[in-house]
Amino acid sequence: MYRPDGAVELRPLGEIEFVQGLAAAAATGLYGPCHAAAAIIGHADLKLGDRVAPVLEALQAASPNRFRGIRHTVTWDAHPEIENREKEGVLATADYRAGARVLARTGLSLDMGVCFPQLPELADFANAVPELTIILNHLGGLTRVGPYANRDEEVLATWRRGIAAVAECPNVNLKLGGIGMPRLGFDWHTRSRPIGSEELATSIAPIMSYCIEQFGPNRCMFESNFPVDKVSFSHHVLFNAFKRFSKSYSASERAALFHDTAARAYRIGEI
């Protein structure tokens, strides 16, 4: 829903305007009791450096009561089979870091996706901009297909080291989700009979448990990643799996995983 024309850096405004309209319509109650989009995450190109400021101002003006931050995916991998969203080393560039500091001064958060070999770069970036709230998406970009297939011992060790390094940065929160994407290396999307929540809970436990051990429940949040994860399981099966997986955690820890971390990181409820 980006704007089809105008300045390129302002085209993401169309997305915010669209979702803001949907949220306002839902808030009237005419379409049922569900109120959509308590918080909205948009996009701005942090490579603009200080010039990202007017873009952020325009996004805030388009959604003064719901806009909470931006998402800028910076995935890069040396293997040509992996889709790149950014150039190599972008997190260390002066312009990207300048844009991130503008974002932090504005009180907004940054959602980001990386490829798992980039996790050490993300840790360096997070330490360089400690005032910025960062939400790392999709389990830190773990990939077990293509050039990383059949290399679990090496790949998982690299991923664990990267997750541990990022977890040392107190300004980073982690989304526990995206595990239904085929790149995670499970066969669920190929099955004639979909996986159930009990088997799914058992399958995801090693990865989820490691992340929570490193970050703590207060910096982790369960993530649906729908409709992308729909290729592997349904929404209710995923959240039933989350419930089964987390049943050994305390009530306060489960509240953090299902609600409190997200509400804090995205400032849900603030006007």
Q: Which parts of the chain fold into alpha helices (H)?
A: 13-27, 53-62, 94-105, 119-128, 152-167, 197-215, 235-245, 251-255, 261-265
Query: Distance (Å, rounded) from C-alpha 59 to C-alpha 167?
Result: 30
Domain boundaries, the chain: 41-265
List of the chain residues with pLDDT < 50:
271
Please name the amino acid found at residue 181: M
What per-residue confidence (pLDDT) applies to 35?
86
Query: Distance (Å, rounded) from C-alpha 65 to C-alpha 39?
Result: 8
The answer to whether the pTM exceeds 0.85 is yes
Max CA separation in the chain (angstroms): 54
Looking at domain 41-265, its CATH architecture is Alpha-Beta Barrel (3.20)
What per-residue confidence (pLDDT) applies to 270?
65
Torsions phi, psi of 222, nearest 5?
Answer: -70, 140
Which residue from 228, 252, 251, 226 is spatially nearest to 239, judged by alpha carbons? 226
